[in-house]
Amino acid sequence: MSNTLTETPEAGVPADARADQLRALLDGPWRELRERFRAEIEPQMVLGEPGRSIEENRARVTAQLLSLAEKGYGRIGFLTQYGGEYDYGASCVLFEMQAYGDLSLTVKTGVQFGLFGGAVQRLGTQRHHAAYLEDIMTGKLLGSFAMTEEGHGSNVQRLETTLTYDVEAGDFVLHSPTPSSIKTYIGNAARDAQMAVVFAQLIVPSGSQGVHAVLVPVRDGDGNPLPGVTIGDNGPKAGLPGVDNGTFFFDHVRVPRENLLNAYGDVAEDGSYTSPIEGENKRFFTMLGTLVRGRVCVGGGAAASAKKALVIALRYGTQRRQFEAPGVEQEAVILDYLAHQRKLFPRLARSYALSFAQNELTSRLQALQGEQAHPDEQGQRELEGLVAGMKALSTWHAIDTIQTCREACGGAGYMGENELGQMRADTDVFATFEGDNTVLLQLVAKGLLTEYKETFSDLDAADLIGLITRQVGDTIVEKTAGRAGLQKLVDAVTPRNDETALDNRGWQLWMFRERADHLLETLGKRLRRATRENAFELFNNAQDHVLEAARAHIEEFILTEATTAWQSMPKGPARDLLDKVIDLYALSSIEADKAWFLEHGRLTDKRSRLVTASVNDLCQALRPEVDTLTRALGVPEQLIVAPIAQ
């Protein structure tokens, strides 16, 4: 084990140059936007103040949203012909950057430009674009995305709100038929929304057509609810005090026929229904698929918040002293304690790895849904799986990391001025909205099991029967996780046993693949026994296996993307440093799941202990690099206002 007291970084290349190189790599394809944001954003544009009332927070957030819109930040994701910039990936990156500021603002702009605006753009057609997009981008028209109901958040196919076409009158009747059909937790609802994209069961003379979205005016010019619309306020929450979440209840509200967002299904004046997509389920899940950006944003935003927390805790860790080393008068810097390094460095390494994976998601989203998009159904489904899984893992990473950072800053970490408390409270719900994490991981596994074949429902076990196509040793995974490119690295590793160095990237990848493949294959075998009668029980008894398989798949994706990014770097000190960071990510991930590797003969007892020793060594090896590593994250300096991190 190496010396525990801090050493200075190796001479030669200045630390700054390495930080710059790493930052450029982490910034990825949308570096320019990130740099613009860093240069242009002033603290008061995106930060809040602790201890304010809900009303003050809401007012401040709305004002900030409007001023960001004024600077053009609202235009980034929208179609160019209506005044947008239509850089779809950039809109995700902007969300990430905004997450370094107040998360209430991040979520509020996400609702306005992402969910509400995005739904109008994606689910609507020219008539809606022409009428509304410009006002949405400028914030002149504020709106909600009203999907969730009290009775249904995860299983949105079962929404109860009805949208019934009245042939006589030539318009729709929007109605909340039961108490549990009330729309709830809806952002922008309680205070600001003038319109809402409302999801409801579409009913036409020929029958029910499943869930569709419709644009509904909800407030008049004075901000009062329109007739038939009852608006409620969700009130105080565990976090996000600046977001006005609320409820909508509709009592036979008349909505013009043209307000149906009709890209995937339309109702003619005579009440006849047409759609380019056959089948209710497929239609609904195709619609949802076009909205996948929201999940990309939520995962990326949470991960960004975790980075900021790490910068705060790591900086404090290099300054704070507590307890003296024997014979030394000055107390030791807490980041020199192995236990403290153990808390922060593996999470820092994971933050790095997640960044590369997040960049890959954003690029794939751009390729599939951006301006020059090449639609590709298989690619789209694969993306949806990765996005769902990355959203779950990134948000849990954020919750865990911010909490750890809070504790790592002792009493100071609990003070409002040091930012961590609010970040922790705000990111909490990222595990829930845009899809509950546990539900999302099941979607990942479902996609893998069916090789992204025709399966259009959330978690219906019956739906899976007969679709489970996974065969031992089949090849689809090679494509899905972008494995092919790294095959050589993996093949080069023989023997894969105690002789191979733990920092051999090929071995690490092999371990991640072994875990992912084995979990999936055994799951497939287990579930192929399903019949209509035993399906629920069989699937339910395997739920822990399902979650593990999904996790392992996403972990492999993360290591793959981190490795690919690292390989792209020119040889030199920055690459060497990143190498260690990825080692730490890979080995601490293996360490956390040691039991699996031991149980399945992929680690011997001896090697397993070595993994732990290596994690310790890597923590100590990265200790002198903390400055470079935190600077490389590129958190805008002006947005780190915590006094303990100055």
Ligand X SMILES: Cc1cc2nc3c(=O)[nH]c(=O)nc-3n(C[C@H](O)[C@H](O)[C@H](O)COP(=O)(O)OP(=O)(O)OC[C@H]3O[C@@H](n4cnc5c(N)ncnc54)[C@H](O)[C@@H]3O)c2cc1C
Residue with smaller CB distance to ligand X, 322 or 378: 322
Shortest reach from residue 320's CB to a second copy, in Å: 9
Q: Which stretch binds a second copy (CB under 8 A): 29-37, 205-213, 428-436, 567-575?
A: 428-436
In the block, tokens 């003070």 appear at 415
Q: Please report, as residue ranges, which positions from 400 to 419 form the binding site for ligand X (by CB under 6 A).
A: 407-408, 410-412, 414
Residue with smaller CB distance to a second copy, 195 or 429: 429
Q: Please report, as residue ranges, which positions from 583 to 602 form the binding site for ligand X (by CB under 6 A).
A: none
| 356 part of the interface to ligand X, by CB under 6 A | no
Identify whether the C-beta of residue 622 lies closer than 8 Å to the C-beta of residue 581.
yes
Shortest reach from residue 643's CB to a second copy, in Å: 11
Instruction: Residue 601: count other Cβ atoms within 10 Å of its Cβ.
Output: 8
Shortest reach from residue 214's CB to a second copy, in Å: 22
Number of alpha carbons in the 13 Å side-chain half-sphere of residue 579: 15
| 637 part of the interface to a second copy, by CB under 8 A | no
Residue with smaller CB distance to ligand X, 317 or 636: 317
Question: b/e map of 103-130 (b: 16 or more CB within 10 Å)?
Answer: bbbbbbbbbbbbbbbbbbbbbbbeebbe
Q: Which residues pair with 207 in a beta bridge?
A: 204
Q: Which structure tokens are listed for 123?
A: 């689910």
| 288 part of the interface to a second copy, by CB under 8 A | no
Site map 451..480 versus a second copy, x via CB under 8 A: -------xxxxx--x---------------
Shortest reach from residue 154's CB to ligand X, in Å: 3
Instruction: Give the C-alpha separation, 347 to 359, whole Å.
Output: 18
**Largest separation between any pair of C-alpha atoms in the chain:** 92
Q: Please report, as residue ranges, which positions from 169 to 208 form the binding site for ligand X (by CB under 6 A).
A: 185-187
Q: Please report, as residue ranges, which positions from 490 to 519 form the binding site for ligand X (by CB under 6 A).
A: none
Question: b/e map of 511-539 (b: 16 or more CB within 10 Å)?
Answer: bbbbbbbbbbbbbbebbbebeeeebeebb
Q: Please report, as residue ranges, which positions from 156 to 185 form the binding site for a second copy (by CB under 8 A).
A: 158, 184-185
Q: In the set 72, 479, 536, 567, which binds a second copy (CB under 8 A)? A: 536
Number of alpha carbons in the 13 Å side-chain half-sphere of residue 526: 17
Q: Which residue in the shown chain puts its C-beta closest to ligand X? A: 153
Instruction: Give the C-alpha separation, 460 to 74, whole Å.
Output: 37
The alpha carbon dihedral of 134, 173, 204, 198 has a sign of positive
| 147 part of the interface to ligand X, by CB under 6 A | yes
Q: Please report, as residue ranges, which positions from 324 to 363 form the binding site for a second copy (by CB under 8 A).
A: 324-328, 331-332, 336-340, 342-343
Residue with smaller CB distance to a second copy, 168 or 323: 323
Closest CA to 294 of 446, 187, 190, 206: 187
Identify whether the C-beta of residue 383 lies closer than 8 Å to the C-beta of residue 365.
yes
Residue with smaller CB distance to ligand X, 126 or 319: 319
| 154 part of the interface to ligand X, by CB under 6 A | yes
Q: In the set 164, 438, 564, 612, which binds ligand X (CB under 6 A)? A: 438
Instruction: Give the C-alpha separation, 357 to 353, whole Å.
Output: 7
254 touches which of a second copy, ligand X, none (CB within 5 to 8 A by kind)? none
Name the region of 324 (left: φ>0; alpha: ψ -120 to 50; beta: rest).
Answer: beta
Instruction: Give the C-alpha separation, 30 to 36, whole Å.
Output: 10
Instruction: Residue 591: count other Cβ atoms within 10 Å of its Cβ.
Output: 17
Identify whether the C-beta of residue 364 lies closer than 8 Å to the C-beta of residue 358.
no
Tell how far CA 502 is from the center of its chain: 30
599 touches which of ligand X, a second copy, none (CB within 5 to 8 A by kind)? a second copy
> DSSP string of 137-174?
HHTSS-EEEE--BSS-SS-GGG---EEEEETTTTEEEE
Residue with smaller CB distance to a second copy, 152 or 575: 152
Closest CA to 587 of 564, 561, 607: 607
186 touches which of ligand X, a second copy, none (CB within 5 to 8 A by kind)? ligand X
| 429 part of the interface to ligand X, by CB under 6 A | yes
| 605 part of the interface to a second copy, by CB under 8 A | yes
111 touches which of ligand X, a second copy, none (CB within 5 to 8 A by kind)? ligand X
Site map 448..487 versus ligand X, x via CB under 6 A: -----------x----------------------------
Amino acid letter for position 41: I
Q: In the set 10, 40, 42, 53, which binds a second copy (CB under 8 A)? A: 53
23 touches which of a second copy, ligand X, none (CB within 5 to 8 A by kind)? none
| 433 part of the interface to ligand X, by CB under 6 A | yes
518 touches which of a second copy, ligand X, none (CB within 5 to 8 A by kind)? none
In the block, tokens 């090929």 appear at 506
Instruction: Give the C-alpha separation, 6 to 317, whole Å.
Output: 12
Residues that bind ligand X (CB under 6 A): 111, 115, 145-148, 153-154, 185-187, 237, 240, 245, 320, 322-323, 334, 337, 339-340, 407-408, 410-412, 414, 429, 432-433, 435-436, 438-439, 459
